[in-house]
Structure 1
């Protein structure tokens, strides 16, 4: 009986956490699961750094679409899909997960999917001003994250949490932070080691040797 009660308490805690995490999105009719930036990289067709230089509202769609014109600075993923991105498409309404970019102000890290030769993105994708990314995140999008696309980042919403296979890294940012601003999101990548295990990796400088921690650290 105590074991059943304990399981029920943990289940209720998990549901409460999910409600808190999603309450603001639900209010706007757009709900997104939190993901580590590495997962955002691995699940995207296109990852670029670009400056948004123009926009146009397309009225010929059932649901209005905003087309952003971008000046691509660098492509990190997607060469097999297209060589150069000129336009980014998103829903015109934030309530339908459309993302808003400022024009001629910032460089953005933009992730998205390709459909019929067009790049689509939204609030559930990872889109952030470049200068707001940590150094580790910039290195991650540049080359590290691709080394861990065979790994699984397992979210931990409540304690205790455990990994269940050798290819998992335990993601605990939700215990004290919300999503992208957590310490693991800002500074770590989940990388597969020679032994076949995945573990958190944090590179300090190019001259340093690979530094790893076990699957439950940090």
Structure 2
């Protein structure tokens, strides 16, 4: 019986190692326009990360980041004030990494049992790296377009199929959520429920650009 037992243990260890390998290769996220990331998040804040602690819960552990919240943009109905952000300690499970006492971050996430969780598939970025249009979107404009649908275009031809859609073409140039539309446009609902791309007013050009094909 002993050799059979040992073979079973070896088989289980092999399957476990294969499972871990799949996890390390398993964090893949669909590209998301920052407006969709904002509208689909339960929590959106700007904060500075001031501490980190590894919690030994679960097989991989959880990182608990202590944050100094600067401003909350979304989530007032969920929590009063965010003090901690939780994420997986494993990169394979899409855990996100923040620098301590260096930058202010835009952090988006969800709330579970009163705790705020985020990961690589959420929109997290250094605040200084956001474009002016993205900052304005987070402050006001994105909320105006949460009833709109941003439709990704991966291959031509692409067509909108309803009046509340904006065609997102950044993927055609392989830039995705770092592309021109992502950085400079918001999809805003106009009259009679129609949605269209909105760039707004810039310092160089005092006109309002409102087009379905930026």
What's the TM-score once normalised by structure 2's chain length? 0.85
Q: Distance in 2 between matches of 1:103 and 1:51?
A: 8
Question: Over residues 28-86 of structure 1, what are the superposed CA-to-partner deviations in whole Å (9 max), with x where a residue is unaligned?
Answer: 31011110000000000000000000000000334300000000001011111112100
1:38 paired residue among 4, 12, 35: 35
Q: Distance in 2 between matches of 1:148 and 1:81?
A: 21
1:92 paired residue among 82, 89, 92: 89
2:161 paired residue among 144, 159, 164: 164
Q: Distance in 2 between matches of 1:203 and 1:177?
A: 25
Question: Is 1:173 the counterpart of 2:170 in the alignment?
Answer: yes
Question: Is 1:188 the counterpart of 2:181 in the alignment?
Answer: no
3-state SS of 2:140 partner = helix
Q: Distance in 2 between matches of 1:155 and 1:27?
A: 27
Mapping for residues 1-218 of structure 1, pairs under 5 Å:
28-205=25-202, 208=206, 210-213=208-211, 215=212, 217-218=213-214
Q: Distance in 2 between matches of 1:179 and 1:204?
A: 24
Unaligned runs of 5+ in 1: 1-25
Unaligned runs of 5+ in 2: 1-22
Aligned Cα RMSD in Å? 1.8
Report the number of matched residues.
Answer: 192
Q: Distance in 1 between matches of 2:178 and 2:185?
A: 12
Larger radius of gyration: 2
**What is the deviation of 1:202?**
0.4
**What is the deviation of 1:210?**
4.5
Q: Distance in 1 between matches of 2:40 and 2:206?
A: 29
What's the TM-score once normalised by structure 1's chain length? 0.84
